[in-house]
Amino acid sequence: MNMKGKNILITGGTGSFGNKFVPMTLKNADLNKLIIYSRDEMKQWEMAKLYDNDSRVRFFIGDVRDKDRLNRALDDVDIVVHAAATKIVPTAEYNPFECIKTNILGAMNLIDASIDQGVSKVVALSTDKASSPINLYGATKLASDKVFVAANAYSGKRKTKFSVVRYGNVMGSRGSVIPFFNSIKKSGVITITDKEMTRFMISLEQGVDLVWHALEDMEGGEIYVKKIPSMNIMDIAEAVAPGIKTEIIGIRPGEKLHEQMIGVEDASYTYEYKDHYKILPNIYDASLDPSRIKDGMKVESDFSYTSDNNKEWMKADDLKKWLESNPESL
C-alpha cells in the first residue's frame, strides 16, 4: 500500500471502522496527514487523546450533509475513505428523511467536493444490504453505490476516481449483532428473529484490508466484495452466551432472512479473484475494460453470493475463539 506523503481524510472517522482504520493506517503507511472528519465532538475529543503525540493526525468537525464544510476539509487531500452513514436498520425505517440526507445527499456532496478539490481517489464503504434491498438503509446504500460508480464519468477532466467496498456484518461494530446479544444476555434470554437466519461475518481488520486493496487496484467504478464466512444466528448466540435460553420473536421491520452481497442481476459484470469478487460498472462498456478485469475470472451467469449459499462457514467455536482474542468486540 503506497501512501507515502499522502493526505488522507476519513468521513465518519470516529465510528467503529474509523477506530480500526486510523491506527492500522498510521502503522502501515508512510503518510503525511490523516484527517478524521465527523460530527461528534465528544467522540473526537476521546479519540484525540489516543493520538496526542502524532503530528500526522488531525480532527475536523463536520457533517457530510454540509457541502461547504466538506469543501474546506478536502483542501489538499489526496485520498478519501467514506465511512459516514446512518446504518442501523430500524432507525432508518423510522427516520427515513434523515437516513436519505446522510446516505444519499451526503454521498452526492462528497462527490462534488472531491472533484472540485482535486482528490485523487475516493473509496466508499457499502453493505450487503445494498444488494436487492428490502429496507430503507439498504435502498439508500444502493443509491449511494450507484452515484459513486457513475461519478467516474461525472468527474470529467478532473480524473477523480471513485470505487466502493461492500461487506457484511462487521463483528463487534456498534449496532451489530454481537454487541447487541452481549447487551441483552444479562436478562437470561436472547431474542432471536428466526432460527434459520444467516449473516456474513467480517472483522474490522479485514474491512480495512479491503479498503487498502481497493485503493491500490481501482481504476474507478468497481465494487469490491470480500470473500467472508457466513454464520447461523443460533451459532452466534451460542458463541456470545453459551447455553442461554433463546426466544423466537419474528423478523423485525426491514430485515432479511439471508443477506446478499452479489445478486444474479450483477453476475454479467462480476469477476472472481482469490480473496474477493469485483462487480464492474455496467455503463460505458467499463465491464469489458482489461485494466479493470486484470486476472479475474468471470462468474457464471446464474451466480449469486448470499449468506445461505456460501461455501465458507464460521461455527460457534470459531467465533468463541475470535471473541477471546478480541474481548473489546463484546
Which positions are annotated as active-site residues?
Answer: 129
Is residue 162 a contact partner of residue 221, using CB atoms and an 8 Å limit? yes
C-alpha cell at 203: 472483522
How many contiguous H segments (helices) and E segments (strands) does the chain have? 12, 17
| Amino acid at the residue 216 | E
Q: Say how far apart CA 313 and CA 199 lie, in whole Å.
A: 10
Contacts of 91 (CB under 8 A, 6+ apart): 99
Contacts of 98 (CB under 8 A, 6+ apart): 86
Q: In 3D, which of 187, 228, 222, 190 has the Cα closest to residue 209? A: 228
Kind plus residue range of the DSSP H or E element containing 147: helix 136-154
Is residue 149 a contact partner of residue 164, using CB atoms and an 8 Å limit? yes
DSSP string, 12-57: TTTSHHHHHHHHHHHHH---SEEEEEES-HHHHHHHHGGGTT-TTE
Other beta carbons within 10 Å of 249: 10
Q: Say how far apart CA 63 and CA 71 lie, in whole Å.
A: 11
Q: Say how far apart CA 117 and CA 137 lie, in whole Å.
A: 29
Q: Say how far apart CA 308 and CA 48 lie, in whole Å.
A: 41
Other beta carbons within 10 Å of 41: 11
